[in-house]
């Protein structure tokens, strides 16, 4: 049982589920997916979980020493010594390869290639870059948004405009989300040598302003699906879904502006938890009005 808990911690289960959720919704939004085939949805979920879990496992193996220095990550299995580096690498290689194979064999090799590319960016570019420059957040936002393109490609067999719009939504969402986390954990991250906030001095007005700017940018991008043919706004359901998205954006912007005004950890925590709520609300609202 303890070993199972270690593996669940190694793959960052809750984070992985959220990532794969966006991929599944993007798949269901693809125009070629006209009905819910639960076996295919399950296979996409499984493949996505394996690839995401592999990326998270590599992250923990590579960062085992810095994880051990931080309070919030010191109990992770590799950092705490409950799992060897060799075991972590073996798990990551097997799950990553199996996940890419599932996506390629049951869907298409375009989605599989995107998944492999996302794993590479996250594990081998973003992860080491965190100690070099705060630009790591920008780099990390790419693999963080690729699940939308992966799901879209799995359902549509190509990278059409709709997939890129969904990618854009998740790409922009990550900045207020991640900077709120970095604000809360700034002391821990500084101890480990991570440079994740946009200002070198740490939590500043500049950082808070960035969360406001990206929250504002989400307003136009989240309604684009209604104007590129993914979603329908000409009926009651469509108008309700747009209303939900607008309310979600106002909610996110309000939390970001509160952080700018108060400049405290409590406000940053509200941005973080608000962002966890924001993304599924927007994605589900889009799905309910699919054209």
The per-residue pLDDT for range 173-208, each reduced to its tens digit, is 999 999 999 899 888 888 878 877 776 777 889 999
Residue 125 has pLDDT above 90, yes or no: yes
Helix (H, G, I), strand (E, B) or coil at 140: helix
Length of the chain: 291
Mean of pLDDT over the chain: 93
Q: Which residues of 174-204 are buried (b: 16+ CB within 10 A; e: fewer)?
A: bbbbbbbbbbbbbebbeebebbbbbeeeebe
Residue 146 has pLDDT above 80, yes or no: yes
Residue 193 or 172, more confident: 172
As beta bridge partners, residue 231 has 290
Which residues are CB-contacts of 197 (< 8 A; sequence separation ≥ 6)? 134, 179, 182, 183, 186, 203, 204, 207
Looking up tokens 């081998």, which residue turns up?
Answer: 124
As beta bridge partners, residue 290 has 231
CATH for 1-159 is 1.10.357.140
Q: Which pLDDT score is estimated for 6?
A: 87
Q: Which pLDDT score is estimated for 199?
A: 66
- Residue 126 carries which DSSP code? I
Q: Which pLDDT score is estimated for 194?
A: 82
Residue 8 has pLDDT above 70, yes or no: yes
The pLDDT-based confidence of 166 (bands split at 50, 70, 90) is very high
pTM passes above 0.85 = yes
- Of residues 50, 49, 29, the one with CA closest to residue 155: 29
Q: Which H or E run includes 90?
A: helix 85-106
Q: Which pLDDT score is estimated for 20?
A: 96
Interatomic CA distance for residues 45 and 115, integer angstroms: 12
Interatomic CA distance for residues 78 and 68, integer angstroms: 9
Q: Which pLDDT score is estimated for 72?
A: 82
Percent of the chain with pLDDT over 70: 99
Q: Which pLDDT score is estimated for 202?
A: 74
Percent of the chain with pLDDT over 90: 76
């Amino acid at each position: 049982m303890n070993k199972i808990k270690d593996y669940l911690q190694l793959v960052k289960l809750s984070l992985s589920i959220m990532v794969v959720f966006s991929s599944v919704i993007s798949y269901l939004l693809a125009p070629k997916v006209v009905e819910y085939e639960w076996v295919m949805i399950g296979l996409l979920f499984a493949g996505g979980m394996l690839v995401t879990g592999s990326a998270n496992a590599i992250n923990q193996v590579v960062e085992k020493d810095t994880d051990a220095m931080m309070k919030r990550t010191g109990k992770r299995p590799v950092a705490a010594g409950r799992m060897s580096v060799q075991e972590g690498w073996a798990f990551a290689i097997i799950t990553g390869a199996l996940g890419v194979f599932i996506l390629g064999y049951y869907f298409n090799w375009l989605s599989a290639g995107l998944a492999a590319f996302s794993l590479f960016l996250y594990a081998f570019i973003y992860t080491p870059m965190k100690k070099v420059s705060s630009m790591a957040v920008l780099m990390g936002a790419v693999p963080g948004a690729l699940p939308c393109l992966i799901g879209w490609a799995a359902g549509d067999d190509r990278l059409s405009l709709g997939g890129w719009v969904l990618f854009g939504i998740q790409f922009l969402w990550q900045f207020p989300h991640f900077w709120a986390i970095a604000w809360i954990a700034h002391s821990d991250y500084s101890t480990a040598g991570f440079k994740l906030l946009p200002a070198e001095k740490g939590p500043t007005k500049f950082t808070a302003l960035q969360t406001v700017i990206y929250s504002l940018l989400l307003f136009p991008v989240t309604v684009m699906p209604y104007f590129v043919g993914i979603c329908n706004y000409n009926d009651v359901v469509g108008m309700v879904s747009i209303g939900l998205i607008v309310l979600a954006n106002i909610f996110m912007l309000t939390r970001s502006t509160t952080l700018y005004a108060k400049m405290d950890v409590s406000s940053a925590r509200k941005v973080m938890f608000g962002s966890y709520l924001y993304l599924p609300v927007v994605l589900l609202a889009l799905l309910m009005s699919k054209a």
